[in-house]
Amino acid sequence: MRFVWIFLLIVAGVAPRIWGQEDVQRQLYQFALLERQGQFASALQGLQPLAGSSVLSRIDQGRAWTLLGYAYKETGQFQLAQAAFEKALNALQGDTQHLADLGNALDFFAAFYQTIGQPQAAGKMWSKALDIFQQEKDHRSMAKTYANLAAVALEQKHIREAKTLFSRAEAEMTSDLTDDDRAFISDIQGCIDDKTKHTPEAVDDYERALEFWKKGHGDEHPFTGWRYLLLGNAYAANGNLDQAVTTMHHGLTIMDRTAGSQNPRYLSGEIMYARILKKYGKRAEAAQLKAEAIQQLSEIYHSQCIGCTVSTWSLR
């Protein structure tokens, strides 16, 4: 899961270059705000006509396509997300004046590949993004990218590599990290502690992540609901099933309100919740919930032929 704070900084800080460009910047800024608030469907309505507009400069096209790809990803429209990210990278490549935008687009595209279960492609793109952030001496983005690479290593069960990468993330952490950044990095720390059986520490990590995130977003955000699910899962691993079930049910309720029950992230949350319900003794309910969620997810992935193609950017 990724955040759009960098767009709020980039878009707000770019001076108009052509007649009408100020209005474009204002629109991009508003769409970035909508995405930061978790209102991805609303952002899509405005971004779809804007991204293909001939009035945009190449840099603004790249930004618009990146925002559009992110909104498509979070609403489960994966084929459209991949196409949008491809267009963003094609618009931004070769522009040495706006390397940060290229790095950001690679970052978002990498998160897309991690979401659809292609960690190798994700890792390659994050490595390319890291090269750019190092050139730019952007320590904030470097910290987050090292953390993302640590998550990829964890997914591939390379525990030692994940710990090394996360140590590098910690070394790059600076005072200008936002609460959203700290929530994300705490998520990765929680995942590492969970995988290495440090369950009390994992609970602390996920509680801290939720606290950081809620400072800026409250409960009415799909990523808040997701963090309740992660926390509940940690409670279960730590032996507190009552608190786990209550917390995860609360998370799913938030996600249903803010993202909808057909959203792939929500369905993944149901599968996670079903595993805990089974441990809690509600085997029949858990089995039905898991089966229905898996079927719906399979239909989404099959209908969009997820994994049929890989971006050439991940092969370069």
pLDDT digits (tens, 9 = 90+) for 79-132: 999 999 999 999 999 888 999 999 999 999 999 999 999 999 999 999 999 999
Residue range 1-126, CATH number: 1.25.40.10
CA 221/CA 66 separation, integer angstroms = 21
Q: 32 pLDDT band (50/70/90 cuts)?
A: very high
What is the average pLDDT score of the chain? 90
Which tokens sit at 303? 């209908």
Does residue 47 register a pLDDT over 50? yes
Q: 2 pLDDT band (50/70/90 cuts)?
A: very low
Q: How big is the chain, counted in residues? A: 316
Q: What's the half-sphere exposure (Cβ side, CA atoms, 13 Å) at 301? A: 17
Q: Which pLDDT belongs to residue 25? A: 83
pLDDT tens across 183-219, in order? 999 999 999 999 999 999 999 999 999 999 999 999 9
Q: Which pLDDT belongs to residue 9? A: 42
pTM, two decimals, is: 0.89
The amino acid sitting at 128 is K
